Structure 1
């Protein structure tokens, strides 16, 4: 018969191996969470900066989105979705429909609002910014809907 210690480790050794495996899994999960958080922060940083597009490019993009929606028989379309952190108050004024809510916008969401104000509103388009999800019961992402 082969060596019993090689065939059947003690319960203490098995618990130690199991604990090491659990620690490895936890460490790997923490690395994945940290990577995901870093990616999310990089995206938020990117969205909080100006897009760098010219007014003409912005208008062309808006026109393309509108024309595609019209071809599909729509009267409105969600044109953008962004995390509430891109509002100076995390979306509170939007959620409460307060006057001046647009002053809380930053980055690309603010650019979209300004494009609408300058070019689309005078042509009869409407825009709505609203909280579109409530994770854990608190305001989450904000959707931008354009209608005609």
Structure 2
């Protein structure tokens, strides 16, 4: 038998305390990460709800690049943007219900995209579609913006 058995086999209550401390540390780390992710999400939504700061020329060039790439890939439509429903004043309800005037619920960058389409793409025969593209927990989630051309 070893000289000191307590050195080889720790006390059960001490092991339980150590395990509880490790679990508490894991829980604290989870809470910190969740809070950081939520803060990051809020900051992103705040940034997206503001104007992009791009000039009209930059917006037109970006639209042209996206459309030309899609055409080169044989597509007749392209998803140009995806955003959280919180960027709509009604959380996407009017878009989901396809109500007349749904575009008045847009804010920030989604509103800029709609205006770009109205001013430059619509007169050239392009179509635009805003639709809820996922339903987490059965409720409207993210909204996708699709630009289409052709039949």
TM-score (norm. length: structure 2): 0.95
**Cα offset, 1:41, TM superposition:** 1.0
Could you list the structure 1 runs, at least 4 aligned residues long, displaced by more than 6 angstroms after superposition. none
**Cα offset, 1:6, TM superposition:** 2.5
- The 3-state SS of whatever aligns with 1:99 is coil
More moved, 71-80 vs 34-43: 34-43
After superposition, what is the alpha-carbon deviation per residue over 1:19-78, rounded to whole angstroms, capped at 9, x for unaligned?
100000000011111111111111111101101111111111101111111111100000
Q: How does 1:27-106 map to 2 (within 5 A)?
A: 27-106=28-107
1:124 maps to 125
- The 3-state SS of whatever aligns with 1:79 is strand
- Rounded Cα–Cα distance in structure 2 between residues aligned with 1:120 and 1:141: 23
Structure 2 portions without partners, runs of 5+: none
- The 3-state SS of whatever aligns with 2:128 is strand
Aligned residues between the structures: 148
After superposition, what is the alpha-carbon deviation per residue over 1:95-114, rounded to whole angstroms, capped at 9, x for unaligned?
01111110000000000000
RMSD: 0.9
1:21 maps to 22
**Cα offset, 1:136, TM superposition:** 1.1
